Amino acid sequence: MPVFTAFGWAGEETAQKFAFEQLELFISHLHARLPHSVQAELTHYGLSRENQGAYLATDGNVEQDAHIAFFARPMSLEIQLAITAREVLAKGFSAAEKDVIGAHRLVTELGPEWSLRIQQLLVEEESGAISHYQDLFKDSVSHFSPELAQEVFSKAAYLLGQEKWLISFYLSRRVESEQAAAMGSAILQVLSTQVEALMPVLSFFTGRTGRKKGTRRAAVRKVAAQQAAVVETAVAPEDTFTYIAELKPLHIRRGFINMTPEEWSFFARNARTETRKVTVYYEGLYDKKSAVWRLQPSEIARLVLGPASHEWLEDAFVPNDKIELHITRLEDDEIQIALKPVTE
């Protein structure tokens, strides 16, 4: 918030006072704008002069549970989901390690505009002082692959079992200052929507139960409602398989991938099923406009890509390239197909 330029004549103290008053007004209006279900989770809100920001929190002691912070800087307005309490994170990463696909999807389906930071901190044995050691991950969520998620979640869960290590979890997104200012009071609705989008992630990593209503991303909410509580088992072998296909010129041009009749039974709801909608995941993006068809009379299962993933297929592959399909049935009976090139 560039208040020093506007109030430079009045002195730094006056400028800071004005900035904090505006932040306090902002957070009270934002909390009032949230759906009742979200208000019931984020019951506390206020101003943090120490961090020079505002917050929505699940607990009066903000750092002891998850909270969503807002920082108004000269160049941007940042929204950040932060979880730093050891007990909460131990539960969250344990759940994520057991349900990598569910946790990965909740984080990455927010979109590439969001950044994830999972930070490893060293706790000094004698003084208790905490210092940065390394980042287990720090980048756009579009670069957080399922394989990397497995590695990071497992390592975080292990490290949290040792007193000398602490792990912090941050999900953040920034809006340019000029863009935020141009929105005027409409910025409250925009940020309210983003807070709603974060709730399934907050629910999963704190062990709460996902809400039934109010989330902007219906698919994220639906997965969260089933998977937000700590799960006890990984994906069952019968609910996942991998298939490798060789792409022909027609496949790339028309945007489809053929499997065999053997795979169709995985997609069929019953004997009359002819098509099955699926979610395709590729390079950190999701395409919900894809489907698997049963071809007649061959009974071959064919993945027909939506426009976005079809465009990616044309850009990323040439004839005779091989592509891997990692297919998983989620707990709500949704099917996700992760696509990636096969490198030999």
Label residue 305 by pLDDT band (50, 70, 90): very high
- Cα 2 to Cα 52, 174, 178, 236, 333: the distances in Å are 13, 16, 11, 53, 49
3-class DSSP state of 29: helix
Residue 2 has pLDDT above 90, yes or no: no
pLDDT at 315: 96
Fold classified for 3-227: BirA Bifunctional Protein; domain 2 (3.30.930)
Mean pLDDT for the stretch of residues 110-115? 95
Q: Which residues of 200-210 are buried (b: 16+ CB within 10 A; e: fewer)?
A: bbbbbbbebeb
Provide the phi-psi class of 191: left if phi over 0, else alpha when psi is between -120 and 50, else beta: alpha
Q: Compare 335 and 223 and report the one with higher pLDDT.
A: 335
What is residue 30's predicted lDDT score, i.e. its pLDDT? 95
Domain residue limits, the chain: 3-227, 237-341
Q: How confident is the model at residue 65 (pLDDT cuts 50, 70, 90)?
A: confident
- pLDDT value of position 295: 95
Task: Say which residue, 154 or 226, is predicted with more confidence.
Answer: 154
Which pLDDT score, from 0 to 100, does residue 234 have? 56
Per-residue H/E/C for 224-283: HHHHCCCCCCCCCHHHEEEEEEECCHHHHHHCEEECCHHHHHHHCCCCCCCEEEEEEEEC
Residue 212 has pLDDT above 50, yes or no: no
pLDDT for position 1 = 43
Task: Give the tens place of pLDDT for each residue, 247-281.
Answer: 999 999 999 999 999 999 999 999 899 999 999 99
pLDDT category, 336, cuts 50, 70, 90?
Answer: very high
Element (H, E) at 304: strand 301-304
Residues in CB range of 213: below 8 A, 6 or more apart: 35, 37
Paired tokens of 100: 């990598």
- 130-156 residue pLDDT tens: 999 999 999 999 999 999 999 999 999
CB 225 within 8 Å of CB 262: no
Average pLDDT over residues 102-123: 95
CATH code that applies to domain 237-341: 2.40.330.30
CA atoms of 248 and 264, how far apart (whole Å)? 21
Say if residues 70 and 79 touch (Cβ distance below 8 Å): yes
Asked if 136 and 120 count as a contact pair (C-beta separation under 8 A), the reply is yes
> In whole angstroms, what separates CA 224 from the centre of its chain?
11
Cis ω before 297 (30° cut-off from 0): yes
Averaged over 63-68, what is the pLDDT? 89
* One fold for 3-227 and 237-341: no
| Interhelix angle 86-98/187-206, nearest 10 degrees | 80
Average pLDDT value for residue range 15-22: 76
**In the prediction, which pLDDT does 184 show?**
85
User: Which range among 190-199, 203-212, 222-231 shows the weakest confidence by mean pLDDT?
Assistant: 222-231
pLDDT mean over 158-165: 94
What share of the chain has pLDDT > 70, as a percent? 88
Which tens digit of pLDDT belongs to each residue from 30-54?
A: 999 999 999 999 999 999 888 888 9
Percent of the chain that is helix, strand, coil (3-state, to 5): 40, 30, 30
Pick the residue with more confidence: 144 or 218?
144
Number of helical H runs and strand E runs in the chain: 12, 14
Q: What is the dihedral of CA 139, 211, 238, 264, to 10 degrees?
A: -90
